[in-house]
Structure 1
Amino acid sequence: MIRSIARILVVAAALCGAQALAAAGPVVTAPAGALRGEALEGVNAFRGIPYAQPPVRQLRWRPPVPAERWEGVRDATRFGASCHQPPSRPGSIYAPAQALKMSEDCLFLNVWTPEGAQSAPVFVWIHGGALSGGSSSEPMYDGAALARQGLVVVSINYRLGVLGYLAHPQLSEESPDGVSGNYGLLDQIQALRWVRDNIAAFGGDPGNVTIAGESAGALSVMYLMAAPPARGLFHKAIAQSAYMITMPALREAVHGTPSAESAGVELARKLEIRGLPRLRAADPQELTVKAAMAGYMPLGNVDGKVLPAQLVEVFDRGEQAPVPILAGFNEGEIRSLRFLLPPPPADAASYEAAIRAAYRDLADAMLERYPPHDIDAAMLATTRDALYGWTAERLVRSQTALGQPAYLYFWDHGYPATDEAGLHAFHASEIPYALGTRDGTPPHWPAIPDTPGERALGDAAMAYWASFARDGRPVADGAPEWPAYGQARAYMGFAGTPRPGTHLMPGMFELLENVVCRRRAQGDQPWHWNVGIISPPLPPEADACR
């Protein structure tokens, strides 16, 4: 009798607990399980949703395994842990307000959905951070403002650094596909599969998904466009400050870059960790930090399975996802990334001599575009264009060639705090405008003034981004029409106000495309940031580049 009463009390307590959870916030029942979120102004937020099983040590460096369906109502009011990463540089404008809570159990996503949403377009945000840092929990990536534009917004974590991208012969040997690395990219693909299977429960349309990201998030967008396993999981793409740099191949040295497997072996040697079991047993944060200090650079590798070829080759052959794209870059990209620049030459004569020695028959064109009378400005522009400008225009040209709508932008907006700090239109400065998170920037970020002009620019940018995610065409009430790139090579400039134009930086793309083409043809030079005064001698013109 006493035991029966006890069982009844336990069941009653569980029912009361479930009812209390439901009363405390909105509840969604998805195929993955039931979730209790948080009600915001016109939006419901669901945070810390597992989309894959924890990649703990026995699963470290293996493809993600889908999360199991949970029982009961899961609390989804708090963000999950961030993936392991080195600490931010003190004083960096990108450093978060608080130290991140990190764990290998980090494969979470977050959903913001408008109240009463039905078949709403879905916007999936992939954070940046050089594939080695960042988190979906950063306030600047909050999805509430975009959700109020009628979108279901999703942000995702994915494995970073050595834990996300290490390739190694022993890892390839144990893989059924005979490959390794690309685990962070596989995480992103698994997150998109979760969206496909579950987002309808949140009022989203799994047939209208836009992937979007900035910097390494935009690099990830390009990887996803090139990856056969991601095909059909998204329908539009936004790439903010993407960089189509050289990729390592899994097993062979290409374009002056060692193979991904040999880089993994060399890293283990530097760290004095022998064998896969010991690598898997290593403390994840210590391993992450030591790998970064040893110079390990996480990148996707050409493995023939997830990434079939160099990005430039995939896009040249028209084998990327045939989806509409919105892509662009910022005027001051490198102002906040000066570590990418070499030491400046002593004077204009030294600068010109270095350019002539490196670029040979293209030296006059380089000096005309990046003249020596202001060496700092020339070096900033050279690296900016080689990484971000060339990539943005290449993306819109490639999608246009596939018959897809393509929209190019150039962010040239500054305000008193940025211009006083010499950071006019710096890398990532468009994010708080496009995502509507001007109040969520990190503590060292130049303070955005609360003025009618700033609010109007932000409203226009967010409306353009949201309408593109809605129907593939960027439109903003009261703002200029944004023409597709097309034969007119149109673009939208963002300074104090949006302003359309044509032929952004005439000749820039053709010049840099020639440089990259020659390096590709010769096969022993990467097309990274080894440009300008530190460029290796440019190969002679190849037939393929004429």
Structure 2
Amino acid sequence: MSVNTRVATLDGVVEGKVVGELVTWRGIPYAAPPIGPLRLRAPQPATPWKGVRDATEWGNASAQHKRGTMVSIGKYQPTSEDCLTLNVLAPGRPSATPRPVMVFIHGGAYTLGTSATPLYGGGSLVRRSLEDSDGIIYVSINYRLGALGYLDLTQFSGPSRQFDSNLGLRDQVAALEWVQLNIGQFGGDPENVTIFGESAGGNAVTTLLTTPAAEGLFAQAIAESSAPGMVATHENATQWAREFLDFLGDGGDAAHALDTADVTQLGRAGTKLGAAVSARTPGLFPFGPVVDGEFLPQNPLDAYIGGSAHPVPLIIGTNSREGTLFPKVLDALPTNPERIDKLFSLTDPAAKNVVTEAYPGYPGEAAAIDIGGDFTFWKPSLEVAEAHSRRAPTYSYRYDFAPRVMKWLGLDATHGFELFAVFGISGTTFGKLMTVPGGRKAFADVTEKVQSQWLQFATTGAPLESWPKYDEHARETLVFDTRTRVQRDPRRDRRRAWEGYRGYASQKTEPTETSVI
């Protein structure tokens, strides 16, 4: 049977390639390159092309540090400001009906990452979907990162040069609009789109649910280890932008500096800004969506609580020990007593003893790390689950599974580890090496359970019947582990200790030259 690798999009014809039983199209533009006068502007429509466009290679990763683009040992994905592309992966066999679509948004603290990362390939997920149905269509996207995507520089606009806010978020909306207009040509159903993402990608998901321009662009959402509070106030974003220009050295003409600086200069200024903000306010990052009163009218947590989030079914959850990865990889969370003291002194001093007493062993290292992870990911995700469950079907999970080697490393079920199950790593060479000390069958079993739930949800809008809806009374949560089970109100003492605490999201203090709260 011949497989059609040529597809006509609204912008032009693309030619993909066959990969086993699947077909892939890579590097398809969903917007115009944001370069030259379009740098730091909202995404514009892609320029149509004539003839057949080769779509067999990944597009450029967003401009970033090299470490975020490794695709194999010693090999890195090229980076460029010209990065607004997406990829489509579909079954090779035809389907009589349009297939559900899953759109993945990668993480990386809004400063790192690329859809070309091998983990995000999607092949295992699509092949697994063919076991029970006609399969799904998998889409992955690139979007602008760092200062070029997640720093609000609108205060430097003038009559001859405009800058827009929330550029990375706008890119994600533009990609979803492309899906609505074009995915039918690849066999997908635009009326059954599920967005899912992890870490910053999870934050993108919880933010998109509160972004007016995203209304109607997806039917379901899955937020994995979201940090829903990683959204800047207008006041903080304004101060951070000024600091960024100081680090960049604007010479008195901000617009000119932003137009003429190369990506290396922008990256260095961004690194300095990130370090300065993290030192002042542990757990707060300068790169992320900003409440601009326009594209993102209000803080997402407030939108959920106020009932204005898009009422689509939502899966949301975190991993058992989110914080253990960060002291080893990205040491920026409040994961030690000094930073935890500073965190509460800047937000809610009265909450400190209440919270720390819920973590036996504090101020020991393990307890402190768990406080930092829970503050950033678990606690605000519970807030979203509780509020959203009042308006739409909501399903909560916790991912506890960790093979023996992860426990030996002191990581346990750390941040991002559930992605190995979502994307089916257990059967690969890497997955087999990881489980040489033990846990291979359990890893395969938990992978099957996670993929089955994600695919069922993407297909029908609800997970399998073994997973009950979340509500603020029973708080039933599906725990993925060697024995996957439902728990009522897991870690109840910790949850109660955090009640009423809003962290930086509740702060209204005016920023100064030396303090941003």
- TM-score range relative to shorter protein: 0.7 to 0.9
- Determine whether 1:157 maps to 2:107: no
By how many angstroms is 1:215 displaced?
Answer: 0.3
1:310 maps to a residue whose letter is N
Aligned residue among 77, 81, 94 for 1:116: 94
Partners of 1:63 and 1:183 within 8 A in 2: yes
Partners of 2:335 and 2:368 within 8 A in 1: no
CA separation of 1:319 and 1:174: change in aligned 2, threshold 3 A: farther
By how many angstroms is 1:388 displaced?
Answer: 1.1
Aligned residue among 264, 267, 272 for 2:241: 264
- Determine whether 1:501 maps to 2:487: yes
Aligned residue among 384, 389, 406 for 1:418: 406
Following the alignment from structure 1 to structure 2, what is the Cα–Cα distance between the partners of residues 414 and 394? 26
CA separation of 1:171 and 1:158: change in aligned 2, threshold 3 A: farther
1:167 maps to a residue whose letter is D
- Determine whether 1:54 maps to 2:39: no
Following the alignment from structure 1 to structure 2, what is the Cα–Cα distance between the partners of residues 83 and 315? 30
The equivalent residue for 1:432 is 420
CA separation of 1:357 and 1:232: change in aligned 2, threshold 3 A: closer
By how many angstroms is 1:173 displaced?
Answer: 4.0
Q: Secondary structure at the match of 2:191?
A: strand
Following the alignment from structure 2 to structure 1, what is the Cα–Cα distance between the partners of residues 352 and 256? 52
Following the alignment from structure 2 to structure 1, what is the Cα–Cα distance between the partners of residues 356 and 399? 24
CA RMSD of aligned residues (A): 3.3
Q: Secondary structure at the match of 1:280?
A: helix
Q: Secondary structure at the match of 1:395?
A: helix
- Determine whether 1:293 maps to 2:272: yes
TM-score (normalised: structure 2): 0.85
The equivalent residue for 2:176 is 192
Following the alignment from structure 2 to structure 1, what is the Cα–Cα distance between the partners of residues 499 and 369? 19
Partners of 1:246 and 1:310 within 8 A in 2: no
Asked which structure has the greater CA Rg, the reply is 1
Cα deviations across residues 147-184 of structure 1 (Å, max 9, x unaligned)?
221111100000000111232245544699x8732111
- How is 1:63-82 mapped onto 2 (pairs within 5 angstroms)? 63-82=42-61
The equivalent residue for 1:307 is 296
- How is 1:61-460 mapped onto 2 (pairs within 5 angstroms)? 61-88=40-67, 98-114=75-91, 115-117=93-95, 118-148=97-127, 149=129, 150-169=135-154, 171-173=156-158, 180-245=164-229, 247-250=231-234, 253=235, 258=236, 260-274=237-251, 275=253, 276-295=255-274, 297-338=286-327, 339-341=331-333, 344=336, 362=351, 365-372=354-361, 375-402=364-391, 404-438=392-426, 447-448=434-435, 451-460=440-449
By how many angstroms is 1:294 displaced?
Answer: 3.7
Following the alignment from structure 1 to structure 2, what is the Cα–Cα distance between the partners of residues 71 and 316? 48
CA separation of 1:354 and 1:181: change in aligned 2, threshold 3 A: closer
CA separation of 1:98 and 1:304: change in aligned 2, threshold 3 A: same
By how many angstroms is 1:236 displaced?
Answer: 0.8
TM-score (normalised: structure 1): 0.81
By how many angstroms is 1:231 displaced?
Answer: 0.8
The equivalent residue for 1:488 is 474
Partners of 2:476 and 2:488 within 8 A in 1: yes
Following the alignment from structure 2 to structure 1, what is the Cα–Cα distance between the partners of residues 19 and 335? 49
Partners of 2:154 and 2:165 within 8 A in 1: no
Partners of 1:414 and 1:424 within 8 A in 2: yes
CA separation of 1:57 and 1:96: change in aligned 2, threshold 3 A: farther
Following the alignment from structure 1 to structure 2, what is the Cα–Cα distance between the partners of residues 247 and 508? 24
CA separation of 1:371 and 1:360: change in aligned 2, threshold 3 A: farther
Partners of 2:362 and 2:368 within 8 A in 1: no
Q: Secondary structure at the match of 2:389?
A: helix
Aligned residue among 435, 453, 461 for 1:472: 461
Q: Secondary structure at the match of 1:408?
A: strand
Give unpaired runs (5+ residues) of structure 2.
130-134, 276-285, 512-516
By how many angstroms is 1:511 displaced?
Answer: 2.9
Q: Secondary structure at the match of 2:396?
A: strand
By how many angstroms is 1:97 displaced?
Answer: 5.7
CA separation of 1:415 and 1:426: change in aligned 2, threshold 3 A: same
Following the alignment from structure 2 to structure 1, what is the Cα–Cα distance between the partners of residues 179 and 12? 13
The equivalent residue for 2:501 is 515
CA separation of 1:440 and 1:71: change in aligned 2, threshold 3 A: farther
Q: Secondary structure at the match of 2:357?
A: helix
Partners of 1:54 and 1:104 within 8 A in 2: yes
Following the alignment from structure 1 to structure 2, what is the Cα–Cα distance between the partners of residues 109 and 345? 42
Cα deviations across residues 103-132 of structure 1 (Å, max 9, x unaligned)?
111111000112314311110000000000
By how many angstroms is 1:510 displaced?
Answer: 3.6
Moved more, 277-286 or 129-138: 277-286
**Aligned residues: percent identity?**
32
Partners of 1:432 and 1:441 within 8 A in 2: no
1:319 maps to a residue whose letter is S
The equivalent residue for 2:282 is none
1:515 maps to a residue whose letter is Y
Give unpaired runs (5+ residues) of structure 1.
1-22, 527-535, 537-546
Following the alignment from structure 1 to structure 2, what is the Cα–Cα distance between the partners of residues 354 and 52? 40
Partners of 1:111 and 1:153 within 8 A in 2: yes
By how many angstroms is 1:341 displaced?
Answer: 4.8
Following the alignment from structure 1 to structure 2, what is the Cα–Cα distance between the partners of residues 200 and 60? 31
Partners of 2:243 and 2:273 within 8 A in 1: no
Following the alignment from structure 1 to structure 2, what is the Cα–Cα distance between the partners of residues 101 and 522? 40
